[in-house]
Amino acid sequence: MAPVRCLWCWVALLWALCLLLTLILSSSEAAIYHHPGKCKYKDKLFKVGETFTRGCDKCYCHELGFTCFTPMKPTSWPKKCMRIPIDCGYRIVYRENPEEECRAYSWIG
């Protein structure tokens, strides 16, 4: 039984690493928080590999607890752009063309 548990540890670690690399390489900005212990939210227990949302946080269960990713807030952007709040985050768009996204200079989480 011990080798199987160790295998799950490696799978969970590899999965978390892939997820982290995806976040780093994508345009998505997020703060990452780890919660040790049982993967539990609102009295519901989740299994390893399951996901759930906690408000705007996206959470992923693994052997050591769960990890949540919180959307970050843009703090500066070009003057020709503006920040628009959306469901669980923000979009930076051009003032003259709100359909087109603009890049923020900095974010906080």
Q: Which domains does the chain have, with CATH numbers?
A: 2-70 (no CATH), 73-108 (2.20.25.590)
At residue 71, the pLDDT reads: 84
At residue 27, the pLDDT reads: 41
Using DSSP, state whether 25 is helix, strand or coil: helix
Q: What pLDDT tens digit does each residue of the chain (109 aa) get? A: 555 556 666 666 666 655 554 444 344 445 687 888 889 889 999 999 999 998 988 999 999 999 998 888 899 999 999 999 998 889 999 999 999 999 999 988 7
Strand 73-76 with 106-108, pairing: antiparallel
Give the residue from 57, 62, 46, 58 showing the smallest Cα distance to 14: 62
At residue 21, the pLDDT reads: 45
Q: Distance between CA 59 and CA 68 in Å, rounded? A: 4
At residue 103, the pLDDT reads: 94
